[in-house]
Amino acid sequence: MRRGWKMALSAALRCCRRVLSWVPVLVIVLVVLWSYYAYVFELCLVTVLSSAEKVIYLIFYHAIFVFFTWTYWKSIFTLPQQPNQKFHLSYTDKERYENEERPEVQKQMLVDIAKKLPVYTRTGSGAVRFCDRCHLIKPDRCHHCSVCAMCVLKMDHHCPWVNNCIGFSNYKFFLQFLAYSVLYCLYIATTVFSYFIKYWRGELPSVRSKFHVLFLLFVACMFFVSLVILFGYHCWLVSRNKTTLEAFCTPVFTSGPKKNGFNLGFIKNIQQVFGDNKKFWLIPIGSSPGDGHSFPMRSMNESQNPLLANEEAWEDNDDHNRDYPEGSSSLAVETET
């Protein structure tokens, strides 16, 4: 009886958490709907007097609005991609692993299984990356999301504003959503500003539209500042072919930790997210290369492009110079040795 009560309570809590997880999305949707009403009706149809100006404002606004809402929809409803079946332990291997009490034997079992898989990253201690909740060997750049309760391929982060885990399947859509959000806020702010000044100077009558126009400029500027910072950070990540998790925790390979292990060069890094065909870069259609289970690595490309190896040496040298100022580097090296 007590066990059944606990199970029912646990199920109720999970249901409440699922409902509450949609609150941030609902807030964004309500703000966007209000901004649409305020811009289209209160600004363009009521405040703007010139018919030509109304038409131009509305055409460009709706073009941006379509891409903004389209990319937001794709970010929310594109499901995170999970590792395929070959990365899961078989029933026999799972039984052997769970029944084995010696940790060193368990580690060796995982090493033997991982030899058959395209897995090159390791834990900080050098062990095979294994998820004991999903019972699978994690592919490179794959991580377990505690919110989604699953392993996600090329996981970047879990975003409450889209109520979804951002990873291989939807990272392109998330970047596009940030870009069109910045453009949406910038367009509203620039077109509303002149009417904000007119209301401020008293050149326009103080009617109901005044509140919407003034508040619209404030909200657009507020979101623009926060979004442009976030978008800039993710642009930097893309230029280095890093995820948010890899930026905070250097990936460890079989040869050791490498902070630029997946850095292929600026153009190829962009293509790893948006694909080779540039006509799909601005459209929220899946075009990322590969299947999300394995990725080209820097070490495999250095033989084809020696500049990549030189670039890493330059970065390491810059880090060394920051750590040891001029005139004290030789002494520091000798002390370190």
Residues annotated as catalytic (active site), given as ranges? 159
Sheet bearing 252-253, strands edge to edge: 121-122, 252-253, 256-257
Contacting residues for 129 by C-beta, under 8 A, at least 6 apart: 119, 121, 122, 123, 137, 138, 142
Which amino acid type is present at position 32? V
In sequence order, what are the beta bridge partners of 144? 151
- The answer to whether the beta carbons of residues 136 and 130 sit under 8 Å apart is yes
Return the structure tokens found at 110: 């995982």
Do residues 176 and 66 make contact, with C-beta atoms less than 8 angstroms apart? Answer: no
Q: What are phi and psi for residue 243, nearest 5 degrees?
A: -100, 170
Task: Looking at the chain, list the stretches that DSSP marks H as alpha helix, in order from N- to C-terminal side.
Answer: 2-20, 23-37, 51-77, 91-99, 103-114, 171-201, 208-240, 244-248, 266-274, 298-301, 306-323, 329-336
Do 226 and 264 touch, CB atoms closer than 8 A?
Answer: no
Distance CA 143, CA 134 (A): 11
Which amino acid, residue 241? N
DSSP 291-329: -SS----HHHHTTT-HHHHHHHHHHHHHHHHHHS-TTSH
The DSSP 8-state label assigned to residue 29 in this structure reads: H
